[in-house]
Structures are given as C-alpha cells and as structure tokens.
Amino acid sequence: MNTSSILEVWDYCVGKNQTIKGAALASLVLNEANHSNIFNWSIEKRDVALFHVRKMLFGNRFNNIAHCPKCKQAVEWDFYFHQMEIPILIDTPDNIEIPIDIPNYHIMVRLPNSDDLICKEEIQIIRKCILNLKDFPEGTFNQKIPDDLLMQINNKFNKTCKASNISYHLNCTECKHEWDVVFDISTYLWKEIDQWAKSFLRQICLLAKAFGWSELDIINMSENRRNHYLNLLNS
C-alpha cells in the first residue's frame, strides 16, 4: 500500500455508492487494483479487511462523534483496534454457510456480500443468500419471508459477524438521553481517506506552483522532504 495506490482508489471511489467504496477500499489490503473478487467476499470479510487497512493508514485509535437525537449535543467516544478482536484477514473465510432449522423450513444461507447489497431490497438480498432456494417451490420468498424465518436469519448473521455488527450505547451528558449508534467501518474509513486525499492534493498544488514539480515527483518524495518544503513555503 503506497500513496499512489491510495490516491487511485480515492479517485475511483468519488461519486460511487458506499457499497462500491467499501470493496474498493478493502482492495488496499491486497495491494492490487482489482477489487472485483472482493464483491464476492462476505461483508464480514470485507469489513475485517477495512479494519486492517484503517489500522495501517491511521493507527489503532478510533475517534468518534455523534449528536444526541434529542438535544443535538455532540457526544465523543473512542475505542481501539485491539478491543474489537478483529481476526487476521488470512484466517477469515471468503464466506460462511449457516444452517437454519425452524418448523417448516430447513435452509442453508451464506452471509451477504457486496454484490448482494447492490440490490438494496432486503427480501432480494435474503433470497440471494439462500443456498438451497431451488429446493423450495418456484416463487417461494418472492414477496415475503416469514417473520420467524427472517428473525432467525438476522440473528444468525448478527452472531456470526463481529466487524460488520458493531454498535455502541451512548449517553448524552446534557439531557441524559440514551440511544444506540451503529459503527460502520466502511463509511468511517472513507471519510478519513477522503479528508486525507483532499489535504494531500492541496499540498501537491502548493509544491507544484512553487517549484514546478510534477504530481508524480511530489508523490514519490518522502513525507519528511515534502513537509520540509512546505515549511519553507510557510517560513
């Protein structure tokens, strides 16, 4: 993972939806531009990869801020990478098959992947994740998934996933309101990379104007040399 590859992924992601952004950002952990295979990874494996990318780029500490839904007061909290018990990527399977047995139904499901999430409709996502759908009469689950089955599927997904199922219970110090927030590593990492990329491009612009260097010349400089030249411009 180098500066050029991060900028290339950032450039590709601008204007894309969050599902595509998540897969593209996860590709940074593999040091390759092709992220088509990551669309077949479960969202859990994708998010494991995103946690490792984030650790490599920005460190172990995650700073968070939310606003109380009642009084709009800002609430800040932190957590650290090691607290999440994120597994090593190589130990995380591309996907996981889960059996679900309830009266009238025996199904095998897999975790959703990025390709599934493009559907957006929950019923279509679930249907794509049912591995033995052909064992049921044609048209089963086209319009509705029984509530008890849907609850079991969602419970299994939540228990199986760690990186993709993180939430925090917050308390507002101003009005004492309590609520739960979901932490989405894909959205979180994109905001950080977007801010970093825009800041870095401003540095490139300043140095190019001052010294006539090309973008590639500036990217290939060490961070120490870039900062030294920037300090000279500000002195």
Tokens standing for 107?
Answer: 């199904």
As a whole number of angstroms, the distance between CA 56 and CA 68 comes to 31
Helix (H, G, I), strand (E, B) or coil at 59: coil
Burial of 149 (C-beta count, 10 Å sphere; 0-12/13-18/19+):
buried
Check residue 33 and give its pLDDT.
Answer: 60
As a whole number of angstroms, the distance between CA 93 and CA 217 comes to 40
As a whole number of angstroms, the distance between CA 68 and CA 36 comes to 38
Check residue 1 and give its pLDDT.
Answer: 78
Check residue 68 and give its pLDDT.
Answer: 93
Check residue 32 and give its pLDDT.
Answer: 61
116: left (phi over 0), alpha (psi -120 to 50) or beta: alpha
State the Cα angle at 99 between 98 and 102, rounded to 5°: 135
Question: What are the phi and psi torsion angles at 143 (to 5°)?
Answer: -105, -35
Check residue 134 and give its pLDDT.
Answer: 85
Instruction: Please give the average pLDDT of every successive group of 10 residues along the chain, which has 235 residues.
Output: 90 94 92 76 96 95 93 93 91 92 87 89 89 83 85 90 91 93 95 96 93 92 91 85
pTM across the whole model: 0.90
Question: What are the phi and psi torsion angles at 204 (to 5°)?
Answer: -60, -45
Check residue 207 and give its pLDDT.
Answer: 93
CA quadruple 128, 131, 134, 139: dihedral, nearest 10? -30
